[in-house]
Amino acid sequence: MARIRANGIDMAYEAYGPTDGVPILLIHGFGQQLTAWPEEFRDGLVNAGLRVICFDNRDVGLTQKWDGMIPDVRAIAVALRDGRKPDIPYFLSDMAADAAGLLDALRIDSAHICGASMGGMIAQLVALDRPEKARSLIAIYSTTNDMGLPPSTPEAHLALTTRSAAQDRASVIDHVLKSRGAYSSTAFALDDARAAAQIGRAYARCYYPEGMLRHWSAILAGPSRGERLKSLKLPALVLHGSADTLLPPEHGRQLAACIPGAEFHEIEGWGHDLPAGVIPILHGFMLPFVEKVEAARE
């Protein structure tokens, strides 16, 4: 794990693959550390010759924290209802500036910007706010946050936002394993032993649930992006699952519809997760897309 100063904060990141490879920046979602990207997902990109950069978003993992700044979710809702800017520690746009700042700090002129869930929201803002840094946008089970889109199922929402009653390692692992069934894939097998090992590693590396409160406030306070995305002038790939209960498939369809010329694939039985079985399918869409974008740049 390496550290770097980017966008005025201390960030933890990892880079894999050839230094002269085509760069792709992976941005993970709500409360997820860089280690949450499955090795098979990352290695498939590396084996294709890409330079893969992963990092911990602010307030998660080994990147800088905003200790003690606890947002008031009710006040956020009131501010949004009244048309005011909520008073929160930071916004998704700040997290997008972090991602672009990391590329600046690494002296990478531009990269393919790939984000999952909240990371896909951040990736959209990198493409919109710093378009010179984005060769393409790849959004994995993400959303525009536009009004009128179907909400998460109650079970999926609770699974995402409810913390383990006890905070010891075994309790946290058990809680996450039980919760993930509310939003997991229906067509791809779940490996509980593998998931438990990954959750345990994340717990040992940095268990910091306080940061998730600020991530959640940034998501809630994020304005809709649909109208802005209609002016986006770069290649985009949108991947979503038919079985996603956190961000139902309408979110992916609408995101793709907002971006001129976007390529969209809805994968049957895929939920809001990255099981081993779906990874070759994702690579099967992502790698030809990146190759096509690079060919057009030559």
Q: What is the mean pLDDT of the chain?
A: 96
The string of pLDDT tens digits covering residues 64-109 is 999 999 999 899 989 988 989 999 999 999 999 999 999 999 999 9
Q: pLDDT band at residue 1, thresholds of 50, 70 and 90? A: confident
Task: Give the pLDDT of residue 190.
Answer: 87
Output the pLDDT for position 73: 86
Rounded Cα distance between 15 and 2, Å, is 8
Q: Report helix, strand or coil for 150.
A: coil
Residues 5-25 pLDDT 10s:
999 999 999 999 999 999 999
Tokens of 68: 């003690």
0.85 exceeded by pTM: yes
| pLDDT one-digit tens code per residue, 174-208 | 999 999 999 999 999 989 999 999 999 999 999 99
d(CA 73, CA 93): 19
Model pLDDT for residues 167-176, shown as the tens digit of each residue: 999 999 999 9
Confidence of residue 116 (pLDDT cuts 50, 70, 90): very high
In the chain, what are the domains? 2-297 (3.40.50.1820)
Query: Look-up: residue for tokens 């993930």?
Result: 180
Residue 81 has what pLDDT? 87
Per-residue pLDDT for 48 more than 90? Answer: yes
Distance CA 204, CA 183 (A): 24
Nearest 5°: the CA angle 255, 195, 218 is 40
pLDDT digits (tens, 9 = 90+) for 255-266: 999 999 999 999
> Residue 298: pLDDT above 90?
no
pLDDT category of residue 159 using cuts at 50, 70 and 90: very high
CA separation for the pair 65, 31 (Å, rounded)? 12
Tokens describing residue 122:
């951040």
In this structure, which amino acid lies at residue 292?
Answer: K
Neighbours of 130 (CB within 10 A): 18
- What is the pLDDT at residue 174? 95
d(CA 60, CA 183): 22
